[in-house]
Amino acid sequence: MKPLFSYLIGGSACFALGALTMRVADAPAPITVSVLRAAQEVMGLHFTDAQLDSARREVTDSRGSYEALRKLPLPNSVAPTMIFDPRPLRLRYGPSDKYQATDKLPKIDKVTLPANRDDLAFYSVRQLGELLRTKQISSEELTRFFLARLKKYDPKLLCVTTLTEDLALQQARQADSEIKAGKYKGPLHGVPFGVKDLLSTKGYKTTWGSVPYKDQTLDEDATVVKKLREAGGVLVAKFTLGELAMGDVWYGGMTRSPWDLKQGSSGSSAGSASAVAAGLVPFAIGTETLGSIVSPSTACGTTGLRPSFGRVSRAGAMALSWSMDKIGPITRSAEDCAIVFDAIEGRDARDAATQLADYGFAYAFNLDVKKLRIGYVKADFDRSYPTKANDQAVLETLRKLGVQLVELELPKLPAGDMTFLLTAEGAAAFDDLTRSGRDAQMVKQDRNAWPNLFRASRFVPAVEYLQAQRARALLIEDMDARIKDLDAYVAPSFSNNLVITNLTGHPAVVMPNGMRPNGLPSTITFTGQLYQEAKLMALAKAYQDATDFDEKHPPLNF
Whether residue 183 is contained in a domain is answered as yes
The residue type found at 499 is V
Are 267 and 377 in a shared domain?
Answer: yes
Residue 333 known to be catalytic:
no
Name residues whose C-beta falls within 8 Å of residue 48's C-beta, 6 or more positions apart in sequence: none
DSSP-derived secondary structure for 6-71: HHHTT--PPPTTTT------SSPPP--HHHHHHHHHHHT----HHHHHHHHHHHHHHHHHHHHHTT
- Among the listed residues 6, 292, 297, 313, the single catalytic one is 292
How many independent structural domains does the chain possess?
2
Are 293 and 406 in a shared domain?
Answer: yes
Are 93 and 65 in a shared domain?
Answer: no
Whether residue 94 is contained in a domain is answered as yes
Name residues whose C-beta falls within 8 Å of residue 420's C-beta, 6 or more positions apart in sequence: 1, 4, 457, 460, 465, 468
CA dist list (Å): 280 to 119, 261, 394, 419, 428: 12, 16, 28, 34, 36
Are 64 and 196 in a shared domain?
Answer: no
Q: Are 474 and 413 in contact (CB under 8 A)?
A: yes
Q: What is residue 7's predicted lDDT score, i.e. its pLDDT?
A: 46
Which helix (H) or strand (E) is 237 found in, with range? strand 234-239
Are 60 and 139 in a shared domain?
Answer: no
The residue type found at 543 is Y
**pLDDT tens for residues 56-74?**
999 999 999 999 999 999 9
- Among the listed residues 196, 214, 227, 535, the single catalytic one is 196
CA dist list (Å): 260 to 109, 246, 535, 558: 33, 21, 34, 10
Helix/strand/coil (H/E/C) assignment for every residue in 386-436: CCHHHHHHHHHHHHHCCCEEEEECCCCCCHHHHCHHHHHHHHHHCHHHHHH
- Among the listed residues 139, 268, 272, 457, the single catalytic one is 268
Helices (H) and strands (E) in the chain, counts: 19, 15
Q: Is the dihedral of CA 484, 487, 491, 497 positive or negative?
A: positive
d(CA 361, CA 342): 7
Closest CA to 537 of 370, 186, 303: 303
Are 251 and 324 in a shared domain?
Answer: yes
Are 94 and 55 in a shared domain?
Answer: no
DSSP-derived secondary structure for 483-534: HTT-SEEEEESSSHHHHHHHHHT--EEEEEEEE-TTSSEEEEEEEE-TT-HH
Residue 98 known to be catalytic:
no
Whether residue 124 is contained in a domain is answered as yes
The residue type found at 174 is Q
Are 128 and 55 in a shared domain?
Answer: no
d(CA 290, CA 440): 24
The pLDDT tens digits along the chain (558 residues) read 444 545 454 432 332 333 333 444 467 899 999 999 999 999 999 999 999 999 999 999 999 999 999 999 999 999 999 999 999 999 887 655 545 566 789 999 999 999 999 999 999 999 999 999 999 999 999 999 999 999 999 999 999 999 999 999 999 999 999 999 999 999 999 999 999 999 999 999 999 999 999 999 999 999 999 999 999 999 999 999 999 999 999 999 999 999 999 999 999 999 999 999 999 999 999 999 999 999 999 999 999 999 999 999 999 999 999 999 999 999 999 999 999 999 999 999 999 999 999 888 999 999 999 999 999 999 999 999 999 999 999 999 999 999 999 999 999 999 999 999 999 999 999 999 999 999 999 999 999 999 999 999 999 999 999 999 999 999 999 999 999 999 999 999 999 999 999 999 999 999 999 999 888 999 999 999 999 999 999 999 999 999 999 999 999 999
Q: Which domain holds residue 45?
A: 31-72
Residue 65 known to be catalytic:
no
CA dist list (Å): 18 to 168, 320, 452: 44, 19, 6
Are 146 and 236 in a shared domain?
Answer: yes
Find the CATH number of the domain harbouring 282: 3.90.1300.10
Are 362 and 335 in a shared domain?
Answer: yes
DSSP-derived secondary structure for 111-158: ----SSGGGGGG--HHHHHHHHHTTSS-HHHHHHHHHHHHHHHHHHH-
Are 170 and 37 in a shared domain?
Answer: no
Are 37 and 123 in a shared domain?
Answer: no
Whether residue 453 is contained in a domain is answered as no
User: How would you classify the pairing of strands 404-408 and 326-331?
Assistant: unpaired
Whether residue 348 is contained in a domain is answered as yes
